[in-house]
Structure formats: C-alpha cells, structure tokens
Amino acid sequence: MNGEISLKFINKYKTYIINVALFLIIFITPFIIFGVTPFGKYALQESDITVQFKPLLYNFLTKLRTGTLLNYSFNNGLGNPFIFEFLYYLASPLNIVGIFFTDTNAMYFAVILCKLILTVLFMNYYVCKKTKNESVIIIATLSYVFSGWFLSFSLFNIWLDIVMVFPLFQYGLEKILDEHKSHLYIITLSYMLIANLYLSMSVCVYALLYFIIYELVYKKDSIKEKILSFDYIALSTLFALLISSFYLFAWYDSIIKMGIGVGAPIETDYHLSISTFLSTLFYPNIKLFNDLKGETFVNIAIPSIVLITYIAYIFNSDKPLRNRIFVVLISIITIAIIFIPKLNYYMSGFRYPRGFPYRYSFIISFLLILLFINTVNKERINKRSYIIAIFITIILYIFSCKNSINTELVITSTFLLVFILLFLLYDDNKYYKILTIICFILQVFVGNYSAFKFTNTIDNTNSYTYNLDNARYRINSKEDNNNTLYSNTKSTYFFSSMSYVKYIRLMKLLGVNTFSTSFSAINDKEEVASMLFNVKNSHSNYYLEKIYSVNKKVLEYYPNEFSIKENYEALLYNMTGITDLFNEKEIKGYKIDNKYTFYIPYHYYFIYDEAQTAHNIKQNIDESDGTITIYTFKESKLEEIYSYLAKNQIKYTYYNDNHIIGNVNVDEDQLIFTSIPYDKDWEVKIDGKKVKTREILESLLGVEVTPGQHRIELKYKTHYLVPAIISITSFILLVIDIVKKKKNNTNN
C-alpha cells in the first residue's frame, strides 16, 4: 500500500523531483569542485556578500537566537536602528532557515539553497499550468533558474525572494486578468513588497506594462470587460499595499530619518552597446559589478533552444497575426527600456541603481521562456520559420562575438551548432527529444560552471566568532581586522545602504574615510575624531563617553564644505573655546614620472584641505609647485581639549544599546552633546521629565538643559502601531475571503 502511494506521488510530481535533482547537481557541483563551503575550506566573497549580506544575516540570526536583539545598535557606524538593516537586507521570512546553523557560511548557504529550491518548485508549478509536456517543463524551468540573472546574482541573498516568487506572481496576474481571481496576485505581491521593496517596484512597473499591452493588444474583450479587469487589478494592488503597510510605512519613516533620496537622484553614465546586448542573449557575463561610468551589460542569457524558438515564433505565419504583434510589441518595449536611460530609471523602481543597472533582467528572461512554452506546447512551428530563426540567430551571434572571450565563444558556438542540427533534423530523428534534453542540460551545466569559476572566494580557515558584550565604547574597524559586522564589538565601521546620510556627511567634512552615503570608518590615527565620537583604541590616550557637555556656541557651528582644517578649528573652538590647534610644516616633493611625490610619515595629517593617511602622495606637475603644507595637532592642545570635555562626561548607571541612564554635569552656557546620530525616535528624559531634543552639527543628538547635575535617560522607541494594525487586519480579511470562497466552491 505504501509502495503504491509512493509510486503515485512520484508519478504526480515527477517533473518536480527531476528538476530539483538536476538543479542540485548543476548548482552544487562547482561548490564541490572549487572547495567552497560547506564542501571545502573556501568561503564566498563575491561583492557585497562579504561586507553586507552575510555578516548582517549572521549578526541578526545570532542575536535572535541568543535573545540579544534590540531596537537600536551601536554595532555599526555611530549607531542605527535595527529596523534599517531589517527592512533592506533581512525582511525575507525565509532567512529564518539560517537560525539552525552557527557557522557563518553554512548559515548563508542554507538560506540561499532554500530559496533556490523554492524557485525551481514555483517555476515548475507555473509551467505545469501551461503544459503537460515533460520535456518543455524541464527546459522551461531550468532555463529560468539558470538564466543570466541567476548566473550573476544567485549568491545575492536579498534579491532571491523576488525571482523565487515571480512565476507565481505571473500566474496570479494572468488569473486576475483572465478570470478575475485575485488571491494569488495579492499574496505574491504582498510577499515581494515585504521581502525586497526595490525589486518589487520593478515588478509593479512590469505588471502595469503587461496589463496595458495584454488588455489593449492581445485580449478581445469589450470596453466594459477591460474596465472591470482594471478595477480588479487596481483594487487587488491596493489590498496588497494594505497588507504590507507596516513594512512600507517603516520604509518611508526610515528613509526620511536617514535622509536617503533627499535631493536629486544621482544619475549614472552607463552606456550599453548593441554587440554587448546581443552577447548577453547567448552567454552570462563574467563581470558582476559595473562602474558608475562606462559600458554596462544586461543579464539575460537563455539557452539557445529558447532563443531560436522565440525568433521562429515571430516569423511563423501559422500563428495569429495578433499574437505575433503582441510579441513584437513586448520585444520593442523591452529593448527601449534597456537602451533608453529614463525608461530604465522607471523600470528600476524610479531610481538609478549603482553597480547593477539591470536588476530586473530576470523578467526579460522569463518572458522569452514564456513564449517558448506557449510555442512548443500547442503545435510545432513550421520548418521554414525555424530556418529563418536559425539564420537570424547566427547573424546576431556573429555580431556579439567581439565581446566574447575564447572559452565562452567555443562553448556557445558548440551548443548553438548542436541545437541548429537538432532543429533541422527533428522530423527524421526519433531520438530528437532525448538528444535535445541532454544537450540542454549540458549547456546549462557548463554555463553555471563557467560563471561560478569567476566567483571570488577567500580561505576560511579562520572562522568568525560572536562575542556577546555590552561595551559602552566604539572601536575603529582596523582593530577587529575589518570583520566587525560579525561580532558585537561596537565599531565605527559601517558599510550599508541604510545609514544616516547627515552623519556620514559630517564624518567626511572632518576628514574621516567615507564612501558615498554607505561607508564611514574612523582611522585609528585620527585622535580628535576618536575623542569626539567615543572611539577607544590602543593608539590614543583620549577617550570620551558618548554623552558629555559642551559650550552652547556649538549650536552656531556649520561645517565648511571646503576645508577640513577650518572645520576642526571652528568646531573645537565652539565646543571648548580653545584655539591655536595646529603645527604647520612645508614638505618638498620629488619629481617621478612627471609627478611630484611627497613622502609623509604615517600619521594623521591635513594636506591643503584634505585628510591624508597615506605614506606618500602624488600630484601632477601642473597641479603643484613642488611643495605641500601639512598640519598636525599640537599635543598640548589635544590634552587641553580632552581635559575640558572629560570633566563633564556621563557616569552610567545603566547601559544597553537602546536604553541609557546616567548622570552628567552641565556648567554655565553649556548643553548636553551626544555622539549619537539624531533620530526623532530617541526619547530623552532629564530628571524624569521628557524633553525636546536638538539636532547638533546638522546630524547629532543634543539636549538643552539648565546648569547643574542631571539624571539623563535615553530610550529608543519605534512608533508603528497603526500601520501594524492595518497590515494584520488586511491579512485576516484576505484569509477570511479565501476560506469563504473555497467553502463556496466546495458546496457548489
């Protein structure tokens, strides 16, 4: 009996089992060959995996498991709410899979593998709704899973949920347009909005375009029916927004608090050549990350069998003209979006993505695969159309070859030739189907292997550890070997797309190493910055707590955009009244290769108006007269500044990252200064009474109080009760509606 049940189960879900098995073999084999964890000593180090995705996931799940997760954390930068990282990097419900692992790399690999297996199952489910042809199901499913997007970004945890759910979303979109059934559309859209807002915005733009073209060109409906379809999709989208309202409101609140998106968007100067675009149809890109300027690429790369079938469909006169016009129109719009920067901006979720300008390319691959399914599912395309398609494919491939390296060229040419022979001989070859499947699997395998071998890895013999502590200080990144996101060591190092823009701007104006709006790290030689911002290291004798009192004149200080030296002079004078801070020295350069090279002792210097920490500096001859001026802080002034600020620093009575209590003294004409980024959700009480906070230095939290000894309490609180109620209520209503309709269908 059990054997019969097992056999029925296998027969019913045969394609699911085959596709998952093939996926695991193709995906995991390169891990084994190259000895990458969990099958060897090497760990993934591809792009942002090292500095963002893996460490943030590890830190979050470890704190969740140990019960140490708080609203706020001083673990990164000068401090930030946990909700910031959660919204951008960690909102996927499937991340919880990693909680069963203590090893960093095993944790990350488990989460990725779980999402990718679900991608296989969901795509298999979608294709099964379109056809019962097992060969088509295998080819279509694995073509999507191993598309160019996958081969470039399959290791990027935060984007995988959208690619995973997209086949179900497409099915829900079709159901709502054809049958006015909205549940699957609402569920999948809600999930995507929560899992990753940016990519889900691209999906929303796609849904709008699909609706317009599908309703106006493809469907033969009355105006009344088209209006009804619009009402269904509009109301369903609104309901999905209500379900995810908690997440969306928290996103909006975080963006406002952090200053992200304030001002004009940063435009990039990408350009995509036609030959590069054509090459991305045939094989994946080895290069992962784009520069902000220069030539870019799009990640499409589908197997040759899919591409040839797509082209053949357009030229097949046996197909309805309306259908072929629909396909051509979609193709034209897709190409326009790719090549016209403004359209790419809209499709990218109304932003200019840095480094990865075509993150939505999985949608393009999916549409090509969808056409393949619809084509071979109904009847064979006539041989004349295939011959035209083969001829066009060869021409396109020749134009794309100049951007190919030799290995890719040989591999792609071989498989293209084999598929062409199979297409031409299929009428006379009884082994056509099995040969096609074998050739397809080999092409997918080789494509995945070729892409993986260019993945960056690092020797993982030194495993990361997690240290629970409640340290009141910050340290610089170098003292923890740049692995600070793996441990709770209160570091100034911060690399994240979710950070307070204003505080990073302040760091930059004080000469601290920064990058864009996502990176800030106080160097271990920057003694004054370390002093002001609660950094403790072995190279400095000057350490202050996070909270101390300073002169009220600091409220009058506004940073100078052009001079780091003047910024320090003005800031420290306004905080302490101390002047005459710097020693000044001229250094002569040496001519080397038409440049002056200036050899500087390794210490913290001001050179002209820029902070430098390098051993030597090079300037073009026409930019220098052969000398530069350096500035160093006078040691006596450092001691004087420290003595002034240290006498009124906080004495803690209770401390954790989102709740601080202590006593601080305030002299005449002083206020309480903190090295905590300003955020309206910090609730401050002085002597038990809630007080209004001030934004100091255009970025930091401060409080005006009367002179004397005060008990100060800071507590970080988020206020998302109303959107949480909306989300929960909307979800309950959806569940009730699903149960009610299912019950009605059962009764009928």
Per-residue model confidence (pLDDT) at position 408: 61
Give the other-Cβ count within 10 Å of 465's Cβ: 10
Instruction: Name, of 195-204, 269-278, 494-503, the range with top average pLDDT.
Output: 195-204
Distance from C-alpha of 188 to C-alpha of 240, rounded to nearest angstrom: 9
Which residue do the tokens 């989460």 mark?
111
Per-residue model confidence (pLDDT) at position 482: 47
Phi, psi of 673 (to 5 degrees): -110, 140
pLDDT tens readout for residues 116-163: 999 999 999 999 999 988 888 999 999 999 998 998 888 888 899 999
DSSP string for 254-306: HHHHHTTT-SS----EEE--HHHHHHHHHS--S-----SEEE--------HHH
What the block records as the tokens of 572 is 């420290």
Whether the per-residue pLDDT at 345 is higher than 90: the answer is no
Distance from C-alpha of 139 to C-alpha of 373, rounded to nearest angstrom: 9
Mean pLDDT score, 632-650:
92
pLDDT band at 5 (very low <50, low <70, confident <90, very high): low
Whether the per-residue pLDDT at 386 is higher than 90: the answer is no
Half-sphere exposure of 35 (CA within 13 A, CB side): 7
pLDDT band at 645 (very low <50, low <70, confident <90, very high): very high
Mean pLDDT score, 214-238:
86
- Percent of the chain topping pLDDT 70: 84
Q: Which of 168-177, 351-360, 526-535, 695-704 has the lowest mean pLDDT?
A: 351-360
- Percent of the chain topping pLDDT 90: 32
Whether the per-residue pLDDT at 611 is higher than 50: the answer is no
Whether the per-residue pLDDT at 428 is higher than 80: the answer is no
Q: Which residues contact 592 (CB under 8 A, 6 or more apart)?
A: 618
Per-residue model confidence (pLDDT) at position 120: 98
Distance from C-alpha of 377 to C-alpha of 167, rounded to nearest angstrom: 18
Per-residue model confidence (pLDDT) at position 169: 98
Sheet (strand 595-599) strand order:
590-592, 595-599, 616-620
Buried/exposed code over 341-379 (b: 16+ C-beta within 10 A; e: otherwise) = bebbbbbbbeebbeebbbbbbbbbbbbbbbbbbbbbeee
pLDDT tens readout for residues 561-593: 667 888 889 999 999 999 998 888 777 777 777
pLDDT band at 469 (very low <50, low <70, confident <90, very high): low
Mean pLDDT of the chain: 82
DSSP string for 313-332: HHT-TTS-HHHHHHHHHHHH
pLDDT tens readout for residues 525-542: 778 888 999 988 777 778
Q: 355: helix, coil or strand?
A: coil
Mean pLDDT score, 209-226:
84
Distance from C-alpha of 614 to C-alpha of 484, rounded to nearest angstrom: 23
Higher per-residue confidence, 525 vs 23: 23
Q: Which of 41-45, 221-225, 282-286, 683-687 has the lowest mean pLDDT?
A: 282-286
pLDDT tens readout for residues 254-291: 888 887 764 445 556 677 888 888 888 877 766 666 65
Distance from C-alpha of 573 to C-alpha of 40, rounded to nearest angstrom: 57
Q: Which of 169-173, 462-466, 741-745 has the lowest mean pLDDT?
A: 462-466
Q: Which bin fits 534, alpha (ψ -120 to 50), beta or left (φ > 0)?
A: left
DSSP string for 470-532: --SSBB-GGGGTT-GGGTT--BS-EE-SSS-HHHHHHHHHTT-EEETTTEEE--TT-HHHHHH
Angle at 159 between CA 157 and CA 160, to 5 degrees: 70
Mean pLDDT score, 14-30:
95
Distance from C-alpha of 153 to C-alpha of 628, rounded to nearest angstrom: 46
Higher per-residue confidence, 596 vs 704: 704
Which residue do the tokens 């991608």 mark?
119
Mean pLDDT score, 366-386:
77
Is 202 exposed, middle or buried (CB count within 10 Å of its CB: 0-12, 13-18, 19+)? buried
Determine contact, residues 661/653, Cβ cutoff 8 Å.
yes
Whether the per-residue pLDDT at 451 is higher than 50: the answer is yes
Higher per-residue confidence, 700 vs 485: 700
What separation, in Å, do the N-terminal and C-terminal C-alpha atoms of the chain show? 32
Per-residue model confidence (pLDDT) at position 66: 82
Per-residue model confidence (pLDDT) at position 572: 94
